[in-house]
Chain A
Amino acid sequence: MASFGNAFSSSIGKKLIMGITGLFLISFLVVHCLINALIFFNDGGLTFNIGAHFMATNWLIRAGEIVLFVGLIAHIVQGLRLTFQNQAARPVKYAVNNGKANSKWYSRSMGLLGTLLLIFLIVHLSNFWVVSRFTGIPTVDANGHEDLFAVMKASFQDIKIVILYVLAMVSLAYHLLHGFSSAFQTMGWNHKKYTPLIKGLGIWYSILISLLFAAMPIAIYAGFIN
């Protein structure tokens, strides 16, 4: 790595790690969201459980899970480091700072939004990931697959959990609203022809992904999905 000099310790290199891991997590969210959306078949979770069973047993997916955790942890650690470094770059704050005149609030609050998502993530992983990987899913469905859908249904009977999930998806929407196009800019992919498309795609992506995710706990709590 020495031949790369200080590439990754420089300010641009640190941003590069945020950009790469960010885009990777964005692609992960698509898969995660589509598989979860199988609950909308509304067949008692049978289709969803097939998807969940595939994700839990396919070796390529399991290997990908390790990469996912590495990427996620890199994104979190680097994000926190950058946030603290950036705060240190202005030791004396302004008495009056009119940030809204020149930038969006969520673009200035990525550290805060990310921290909210981290808190959510801890709850989320202990709700589902720990159950499916370690403590075990208690029941099986009609196809003989582990009934992850039952776990999901049980979790989302608690209004507090539903509210936490919906608020987290609001955070996610704003985090992505800045993060999506920002990642492209950091990678250096700025182009007069493509940048407007990327920005538009980023807005659609952020809203759709977050809405779909938020619809799941709401639909289950409201009893639309059985």
Chain B
Amino acid sequence: MSTGNMNLTLKVWRQKNNNAKGSLVDYKLSDISPDMSFLEMFDVLNEGLVDKGEEPVVFDHDCREGICGACSMFINGQPHGPVQGVTTCQLHMRSFKDGDTIVVEPWRAKAFPVIKDLMVDRTAFDRVIASGGFISVNTGNAQDANNLPIPKVQADSAFEAAACIGCGACVATCKNASAMLFVSAKISQLAQLPQGQPERYRRVQSMVAQMDAEGFGNCTNTGACEAECPKGISLENIARMNRDFYSAKFVSEESI
């Protein structure tokens, strides 16, 4: 499988389970092709480990097309590695040089406990979504598409927010392990469309409350999340979430 010419030193975080103490372990890899994806390079590493009778490195991955949000490695101090706008599965070894040392760690946040090695538990995100990141619709026939006129700018902005794949890179890179970019994207994709209006102000309160309960940090507007997001989710969403939150708390007469 590996037919390339790159020699690499990997420092990979190994941790048996959430309670165990983890550490960085060195692995030497040779003949790595620059055309491999980062995860394929890890497949090579794991095949080698299995051949030697050692435990392979556990890491999250699914579609390997950059759209599912499963992969999650913190590579040389950046989530999804050094290339902007890509997930780890879409990062290729040509972004590294022969002889490089690459440090790979799991997402680190209190709200994302390590399950094993590089795999973390991101169900905190699921619970945030379940607390309000949905719309209620009646059963029956779906309405005709384009039945409700939506300005193009607004539709585009909602769509851009909806591009969030929930990978958690924003939390991983934020110095405060804040989930504001994720939560604001999930709020913004609905808040800008007519279908999202009935629950708009309940939603923002519930989701922010759940976000806080999960133990994520507070946003300090460093902008690291936006810079590292593989889907280019904008900080404008956080400002929108803040506005909606203030409206819900200080203007709305309904309290939840």
Indicate whether A and B interact: yes
Least Cβ–Cβ distance between B84 and chain A, in angstroms: 9
A143 contacts chain B at the CB level, 8 A cutoff: no
Q: Is B64 in contact with chain A by the CB < 8 A criterion?
A: no
Kindly state whether residue B232 has any CB partner on chain A within 8 Å. Answer: no
CB distance from B229 to the nearest CB of A (A): 10
Tell me if A98 counts as interface (CB < 8 A to partner B): yes
Is the Cβ of A15 less than 8 Å from the Cβ of B218?
A: yes
Q: Determine whether A102 belongs to the interface, using a CB cutoff of 8 Å to chain B.
A: yes
A136 in the interface (beta carbon within 8 A): no
Chain A contacts for B219, CB-based, 8 A: 11, 15, 186
In the complex, what residues of B have CB within 8 A of residue A89's CB? 109-111, 176-178, 215-217
Contact-residue bracket for chain A: 35 or more
Which stretch of A37-45, A164-172, A187-195, A209-217 is in the interface?
Answer: A187-195
Say whether B208 contacts A10, CB under 8 Å. yes
Give a binary string over A82-99; 1 marks a CB under 8 Å from any B CB, 0 the rest.
100110111111111111
Tally of A-B Cβ pairs under 8 angstroms = 141
A/B interface sample: 7 pairs, CB < 8 A:
A12-B241, A90-B175, A96-B103, A98-B76, A104-B222, A178-B221, A190-B240
Q: Is the CB of B249 within 8 A of A4?
A: yes
Nearest-neighbour CB distance to chain A for B151, whole angstroms, equals: 14
What is the CA–CA distance of A16 and B238 in the complex, to the nearest angstrom? 13
Contact with A along B167-185 (1 / 0, CB 8 A): 0000001011110100000
Question: Given the known A-B contacts A10-B209, A85-B218, A189-B239, are A92 and B108 also in contact in the complex, defined by CB atoms under 8 Å?
Answer: yes
Verify if A55 is at the interface (C-beta below 8 Å from B): no
With A and B bound together, what is the CA distance between A103 and B77 in angstroms?
A: 13
* Residue positions of B touching A, CB distance < 8 A: 11, 13, 24, 74, 76-78, 82, 103, 105, 108-111, 173, 175-178, 180, 205, 208-209, 211-212, 215-224, 227-228, 235-236, 238-243, 245-246, 249-250, 255-256
A sample of 10 more A-B contacts (CB under 8 A), given A5-B256, A86-B218, A185-B235, is A10-B245, A11-B217, A15-B220, A93-B108, A94-B77, A98-B78, A107-B223, A182-B220, A182-B221, A186-B219
Q: Which residues of A contact B (CB under 8 A)?
A: 3-7, 10-16, 82, 85-86, 88-99, 101-104, 107-108, 110, 178, 181-182, 185-190
| B55 to A: closest C-beta gap in Å | 21
A86 touches B176 (CB 8 A): yes
Which residue of the partner chain A has the closest CB to B246?
A188
Residues in A neighbouring B215, C-beta threshold 8 A: 89
Contact A99 B76 (CB under 8 A): no
In the bound assembly, the distance between CA atoms of A185 and B220 in angstroms comes to 10
Which residues of chain B have C-beta atoms less than 8 A from A107's C-beta?
220-223
Q: How far is the CA of A5 from the CA of B223 in the complex (A)?
A: 29
List, in ascending order, chain B residues with CB within 8 A of A182's CB: 220-221
Inter-subunit contact A95/B103 (CB<8 Å): yes
The answer to whether A101 and B82 touch across the interface, beta carbons within 8 angstroms, is yes
Distance between Cα atoms of A12 and B173 in the complex (Å): 19
| Cross-chain contact A12 with B242 (CB below 8 angstroms) | yes
Cross-chain contact B177 with A185 (CB below 8 angstroms)? no
Residues of B contacting A95 in the complex (Cβ-Cβ under 8 angstroms): 11, 13, 24, 103, 105
Whether A101 and B227, one on each chain, are in contact in the complex, defined by CB atoms closer than 8 angstroms, is: yes
9 shortest interchain CB distances as A-B pairs: A98-B77, A190-B239, A89-B217, A188-B243, A86-B176, A102-B227, A7-B249, A188-B242, A89-B177
